[in-house]
């Protein structure tokens, strides 16, 4: 399957409900036509608006389907739409990729080996509905090792977003570090073999996301299955959750991403 041209992705890739409100308000000027509105078909009375390939060409999609929920008025009244304005400080859940979102297979170089862990989609949907941003931060030294190209990594991430999007979940952003500090191996990409500031356990990816999305890191979480995830989260000033039984200085431990999200949301709600 070609994961490069699938229309499930948000923001022009992943679109949260707040964005859809704006889209609906400016639909004529934004897409200029080719709109077909169907009857509500979803279990919660969703209305599907289907945009033609002509309207989606700029985004590179063969087809784009936006789902506009009946409860958008509720989002306005409860401040969800206003809260997503980046002029306001945001909260985020930063999520490791391998072993946290997808099954760990070592260095993932074959897109066919990418498989979501059970419960991940529901976990990310819970983040989406909470007002937190869902942001992936992942070390991908396979690029520096010459085992995966940037284009191939993009396709792996397209597959991840498509699998999530099919079930109604989305990621607000994906940050990855393609570097690796150790040189001298056959096939490596020499210019990527550097001691960078973005590779976890350094907090560079989280700090960049904080600048890009106006995130309050002290009110955000880092979730991962390894020591480097916890160190990066702590260095950035986030609260941290380890998936596993080890002690790396995390605030909380959890069994999996779904368990971790439930725990951090319970704590966050208790502090409101």
First and final C-alpha spacing in the chain:
44
Residue 136 pLDDT exceeds 60: yes
Q: What per-residue confidence (pLDDT) applies to 105? A: 96
Residues of the chain with pLDDT > 90, as a percent, come to: 63
Q: What per-residue confidence (pLDDT) applies to 38? A: 39
User: Which of the residues are catalytic?
Assistant: 96, 98
User: What mean pLDDT is predicted for residues 56-66?
Assistant: 43
Q: Are 267 and 254 in contact (CB under 8 A)?
A: no
Residue 16 pLDDT exceeds 80: no
Q: What per-residue confidence (pLDDT) applies to 87? A: 77
User: What mean pLDDT is predicted for residues 242-270?
Assistant: 94
Closest by alpha carbon to 228, among 189, 202, 255, 247?
Answer: 202
More confident position, 9 or 92: 92
Angle in degrees, 0-180, between the axes of helices 120-130 and 150-166, rounded to the nearest 10 = 80
Q: What per-residue confidence (pLDDT) applies to 90? A: 95
55 — pLDDT class (breaks 50, 70, 90): very low
Q: What per-residue confidence (pLDDT) applies to 64? A: 42
Q: DSSP strand E in 163-220: where?
A: 173-177
pTM: 0.76
Residue 242 pLDDT exceeds 50: yes
Residue 155 pLDDT exceeds 50: yes
* CA distance linking residue 177 with residue 199, whole number of Å: 5
β-strand pairing of 35-37 with 47-51: antiparallel
Residue 88 pLDDT exceeds 70: yes
Helix, strand, coil tally for the chain in percent (to 5): 40, 20, 45
Which residues lie below 8 Å from residue 258, measured CB to CB, with a gap of 6+?
119, 120, 122, 123, 126
């Amino acid at each position: 399957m070609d994961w490069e041209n699938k229309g499930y992705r948000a923001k022009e890739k992943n679109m949260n409900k707040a964005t859809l409100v704006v889209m609906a308000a400016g639909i004529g000027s934004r897409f200029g036509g080719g709109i077909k509105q169907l009857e509500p078909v979803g279990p919660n009375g969703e209305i599907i608006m289907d945009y033609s390939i002509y309207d989606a060409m700029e985004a590179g999609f063969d087809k784009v389907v936006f789902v506009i929920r009946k409860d958008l008025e509720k989002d306005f009244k409860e401040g969800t739409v206003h809260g997503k304005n980046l002029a306001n400080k945001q909260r985020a859940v930063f999520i490791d990729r391998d072993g946290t979102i997808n099954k760990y297979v070592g260095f993932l170089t074959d897109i066919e080996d990418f498989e979501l862990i059970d419960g991940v989609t529901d976990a990310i949907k819970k983040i989406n509905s909470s007002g937190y941003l869902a942001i992936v931060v992942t070390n991908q030294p396979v690029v520096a090792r010459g085992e995966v190209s940037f284009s191939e990594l993009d396709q792996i991430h397209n597959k991840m977003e498509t699998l999530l999007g099919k079930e109604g979940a989305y990621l607000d952003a994906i940050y990855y570090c393609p570097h690796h500090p150790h040189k001298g191996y056959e096939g490596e990409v020499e210019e990527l073999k550097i001691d960078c500031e973005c590779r976890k356990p350094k907090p560079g990816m989280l700090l960049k996301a904080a600048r890009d999305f106006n995130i309050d890191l002290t009110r955000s979480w880092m979730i991962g299955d390894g020591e480097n995830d916890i160190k990066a989260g702590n260095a950035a000033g986030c609260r941290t959750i380890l998936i596993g039984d080890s002690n790396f200085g995390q605030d909380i431990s959890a069994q999996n991403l779904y368990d971790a999200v439930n725990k951090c949301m319970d704590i966050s709600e208790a502090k409101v």
